[in-house]
Amino acid sequence: MSGASPRPPVTVDDLIARAEITDVIMDLARGTDRLDEDLMAGCYHPDGFDDHNAFRGSGTEFAKWVVDVLPHFEATMHFVGPPRIRLDPADPDVAHVDTYCEAHHVSRPDADGHQTDMVLGLRYVDRFERRPSGRGGHWLVAKRVCAFDWSSTVTTDAAARYRFEPDFTVGRRFGDRDRTDITYLNPNPSTNPSTNPSTSPMAPGEDQQ
């Protein structure tokens, strides 16, 4: 029985390309959940195109669309799996990538305290290009298409939700999905708000004690 064709050896350039592409995919997910327009737009080439089905346009336009539309939800969270990256053997500056994602969209509470979580199972199907060509270039999205596989909606009520303790680090405590999030702050634990209350920014409307 003949075996599978051997894969070509992995080069240092291959590893660098895969790391850079993975970082861009993670930045896009983070930028979406933090409503960071600049971070999202910076993941696309200037002529990059995004097809989210509900939206089709340039990467810059997509980033603007996200920050206009997603505040409708109290929170979103995009869980992305390890990307499947295939470097084009005919063009070292092109990569074909698909990434599984489970996207949660949590509504704001209604008058009775009920919330819904719209969950989407999807895949990001991307064409990445390195520009300019060669080691001095940057891998960014040239085209992204969202392929949806399934959806579901979960409803909860206020009594069923876990209540975070006052000293817990909660993503929306110091701001509303923006650059006040802990991931934008100094990574030194001694100066992080979660471990040093004296340096914590106050939430809107919170009085200094």
Is the pLDDT reported for residue 209 higher than 90? no
pTM of the full structure: 0.82
What's the distance, CA 158 to chain centroid?
27
Residue 203 lies in a domain: no
- The answer as to whether 98 is a domain residue is yes
Q: Is residue 4 in a domain?
A: no
pLDDT at 192 over 70: no
∠ Cα 94 51 58 (to 5°): 75
Query: What CATH number is attached to the domain comprising 177?
Result: 3.10.450.50
The total number of structural domains that make up the chain:
1
207: in domain: no
Average pLDDT over the chain reads: 86
Q: Is residue 184 part of a domain?
A: yes
pLDDT at 187: 61
pLDDT single digits (tens) 163-172: 888 888 777 6
Residue 105 domain boundaries: 12-191
Over range 182-207, report the average pLDDT.
52
Residue 7 domain flag: no
| Percent residues over pLDDT 90 in the chain | 64
Q: What is the percent of the chain where pLDDT is above 70? A: 83
Q: Which of 127, 71, 56, 129 is nearest to 98 (CA)?
A: 127
Residue 2 pLDDT: 59
Using alpha carbons only, give the angle 156, 160, 166 rounded to the nearest 5 degrees: 115
Asked whether residue 200 is assigned to any structural domain, the reply reads no
